[in-house]
Structure 1
Amino acid sequence: MFVNLRDPAERLRAGQLYRSAQPGALAPEEVAAIVAGLGVRDIVDLRTEAEAGRVPWTGLPDTVRVHRLPLGGDVIDPEPLRRITTGEDLGRWYAALAVVAAERLVEVVRLVAHDGPTLVHCAAGKDRTGVAVAAVLELLGCDAEDIAADYGRTDAAMREVVAMVATVGDAFAFDTRGLPPILGRAPVEAMATCLAVLEAGHGGFTGLLTANGLTEDDVAALRRRFASE
């Protein structure tokens, strides 16, 4: 099984959206079996080109499409990460990432709305994935407490995530030595801070993405996909 794999929208309509870390060192036949078992048709890969090259998707059936949508650019700058020491710092970094990557987040939402069932992932399935999934959940009407709680569920998987990253080598494409310990956690206050900062400055993910091209039709399509059958 992929590390940190779950359905963050299971209280809406299950089986339409999954989030996870990268496929790690799984054999191609294992990857194919997991993806087929979930019924995934689209994979949104938020990693940089360098990251994806180190841990590529292999063994996928022809019916599954991989959409390469690097969130935050093609290169991760580790220097801002080195200044993060608290959950609140991490949340402010998430909010800044969302602002910079707003147009890309609109693309992610549209894929989830129109193509699903969809798997969204980055390297660890925590930071970029957390931001993208939070945007989708807010647009689906989830409240901030539930969105932060879903993000916080990743904290229990972080030991396994760290072990997977160590197994596959330099998965993040930069030197991770000396990064603050908080980056190996997923504290609820990080996502709570992100949501609060975006709400105060942009009207939440909803206001931010609407200002960057998301339409009422996009939101309606997303909500139809997750409506109970």
Structure 2
Amino acid sequence: MTTLDTAPLPLSAPVNLRDLGGTVVAGGAVRPGVVLRADDLSTTDRPFADELVGAGLRAVVDLRSPDEVALTGRGVLGERSEISYHHVPFLADIGRAAGDADPATMLDQSRFGAMYLRMYEGAAAQVVTALAIVAHSPGTVAFHCAAGQDRTGVLAAALLLTLGADAEAIVADYARTGESSAAIQRRLAPVMAPLMARFGLDLDAAARAAARTRFSETPMRELLAALAERHGDPLAPLRAAGLTDGLVARLRERALAPSGTA
């Protein structure tokens, strides 16, 4: 058991984990078994961790803030000698992010587009680091944040853009998280509710609001549109932060399954 303020946390299988394999990109599709996106893997139970390792998982990229990692650690996957663990926080300080934001915006998923753009541009160096891990790891790579929605969604979009996916494919992947929203909130609550309460945010209120509203594709569409409008090439912020043609080529070599073989 992981603990939070001495209270044991229930460990469970993730509820928002999926293989990006099969996503159509330029020249083919993403090869299955290369990259997984997920909700919090630090609270994964041991049987599911064993399943992931048995299926080829060899690297975990943890996008959570230091505050979150301090609460739950790396989890059981972090104990496995087969797994390389990489902490690549997309938010350095979740408390500051919460304190600087309008609470209404923080709790309304349909209004997250501007946050996604700030993250993509402001954490471009971390995005490139995560892409390099995907490119060079020997087995399956899983990246996760808490819900597997926002930071994970931004990295998934960056990866798919790098591989040449179009906007509709990226939005379709993002929208699949909506199918699991209620389960995500239930799984997150033991960790995130007390954490967010420290910063004046009510996770229960967010869950009630989510239950009343349909998961929106708008934030991802806004991110992609803003990148095109501001930069022309949506990879421009990543290229400025170190994304080279060689890294793009390596990602495509590793992740691309030619048409008809995905």
Q: Give yes or no for TM over 0.5.
A: yes
Counterpart check, 1:7 vs 2:15: no
**Candidates 88, 103, 125, aligned match of 1:82:** 103
Matches within 5 A, 1:145-160: 145-160=168-183
Matches within 5 A, 1:104-143: 104-115=126-137, 116-143=139-166
Which residue is equivalent to 1:227? 256
TM superposition score normalised by structure 2: 0.78
**Candidates 19, 30, 33, aligned match of 2:47:** 30
Q: Residue 202 of structure 1: CA displacement?
A: 2.1
Query: Are residues 9 and 134 of structure 1, via their aligned partners in 2, closer, same or farther at CA, if it must alter by over 3 Å?
Result: farther
The 2-side partners of 1:52 and 1:170 are apart by 12
Q: Which AA in structure 2 matches 1:13?
A: R
Matches within 5 A, 1:67-106: 67-76=86-95, 77-78=97-98, 79-80=100-101, 82-84=103-105, 89-106=111-128
Query: CA contact under 8 A between 1:3 and 1:22: conserved in structure 2?
Result: no
**Candidates 163, 167, 192, aligned match of 1:144:** 167
Which residue is equivalent to 2:9? none
Q: Residue 34 of structure 1: CA displacement?
A: 2.9
Query: Are residues 74 and 9 of structure 1, via their aligned partners in 2, closer, same or farther at CA, if it must alter by over 3 Å?
Result: farther
The 2-side partners of 1:104 and 1:87 are apart by 23
Matches within 5 A, 1:44-83: 44-60=61-77, 61-76=80-95, 77-78=97-98, 79-80=100-101, 82-83=103-104
1:123-157 per-position Cα deviation (integer Å, ceiling 9, x unaligned): 01000000011000011111011101100100111
TM superposition score normalised by structure 1: 0.89
The 1-side partners of 2:109 and 2:146 are apart by 20
Runs of 4+ in 1 over 6 A off after TM superposition: none
Give the number of aligned pairs.
227
1:83-134 per-position Cα deviation (integer Å, ceiling 9, x unaligned): 4276663112101111110111110111111114210100010000000110
**Candidates 19, 39, 44, aligned match of 1:21:** 39
Bigger strand share: 2
Query: CA contact under 8 A between 1:23 and 1:31: conserved in structure 2?
Result: no
Unaligned runs of 5+ in 2: 1-12, 24-29
Unaligned runs of 5+ in 1: none
Larger Rg belongs to: 2
Over aligned residue pairs, what C-alpha RMSD do you find? 2.4
Counterpart check, 1:210 vs 2:256: no
Which residue is equivalent to 1:41? 58
